[in-house]
């Protein structure tokens, strides 16, 4: 069962997970002979009413309760379909993957984005993150025009959020 809790990117548990995320990204870029540009998230952008940051709780390798993943959303400039929330720093530790944590976290962040007034959830990624790209596609994300100049990204995706009616 996936459990999450609200956090700040600056909290110690979140910092550990984000350091793991950044290390994995840098390693992948090193293999591709490219430099990864690390940008630590601004905690204020991931706090209501501008956003939210969540930590996924499950079990560690010893079967004990532990923090195994994280991700957040932040409101950014509106796009063609209206207000936008951007998905950032989605990470699940390798031993905890293939348990549905990533999809559950994205679903919860989409709900939170809607609650913040977003009509669309967008993200930037890199084609080297094949598993992440497959997850985003399976969840209905489709290509959108680049909305930022992130040097680590070569793919921009969006998901229109159903409006309550």
61-110, pLDDT tens digit by residue?
787 888 899 999 999 999 999 999 999 999 999 988 888 999 999 999 99
Token readout for 15 is 């910092």
Domains of the chain, residue spans: 3-160
Question: What confidence score (pLDDT) does residue 30 get?
Answer: 54
Instruction: Write down the pLDDT at residue 39.
Output: 78
Mean pLDDT within 26-30: 69
Q: Give, as one character, the DSSP assignment of residue 97.
A: T
The answer to whether the Cα torsion of 109, 111, 112, 113 is positive or negative is: positive
When the candidates are 2.60.120.260, 3.40.640.10, 3.40.50.300, 3.40.630.30, the CATH number that belongs to 3-160 is 3.40.630.30
CA distances from 58 to 5, 9, 55, 66, 146 (A): 11, 19, 10, 6, 34
Average pLDDT of the chain is 89
Closest to 56 measured CA to CA, from 86, 92, 99, 25: 92
- Residue 165 pLDDT greater than 50, yes or no: no
- pLDDT given at position 50: 96
Q: How confident is the model at residue 40 (pLDDT cuts 50, 70, 90)?
A: confident
Q: Each residue of 132-156: b (16+ CB within 10 Å) or e?
A: bbebbeeeebeebeebeeeebeebb
pLDDT at 32: 54
β-pairing verdict for 142-143 and 82-92: unpaired
């Amino acid at each position: 069962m996936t459990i999450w809790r609200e956090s700040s990117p600056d909290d110690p548990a979140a910092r550990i997970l984000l350091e793991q995320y950044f290390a994995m990204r840098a390693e992948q870029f090193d293999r591709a002979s490219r430099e990864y540009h690390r940008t630590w998230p601004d905690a204020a952008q991931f706090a209501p009413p501008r956003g939210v940051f969540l930590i996924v709780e499950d079990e560690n390798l010893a079967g004990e309760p532990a923090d195994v993943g994280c991700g957040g959303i932040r409101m950014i400039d509106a796009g063609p379909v209206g207000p936008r929330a951007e998905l950032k720093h989605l990470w699940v530790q390798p031993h905890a993957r293939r348990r549905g944590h990533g999809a559950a976290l994205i679903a919860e962040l989409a709900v939170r984005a809607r609650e913040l007034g977003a009509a669309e959830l967008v993200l930037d990624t890199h084609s080297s993150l094949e598993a992440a790209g497959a997850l985003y596609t399976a969840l209905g994300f489709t290509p959108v025009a680049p909305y930022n100049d992130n040097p680590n990204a070569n793919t921009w995706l969006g998901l229109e959020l159903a409006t309550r009616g």
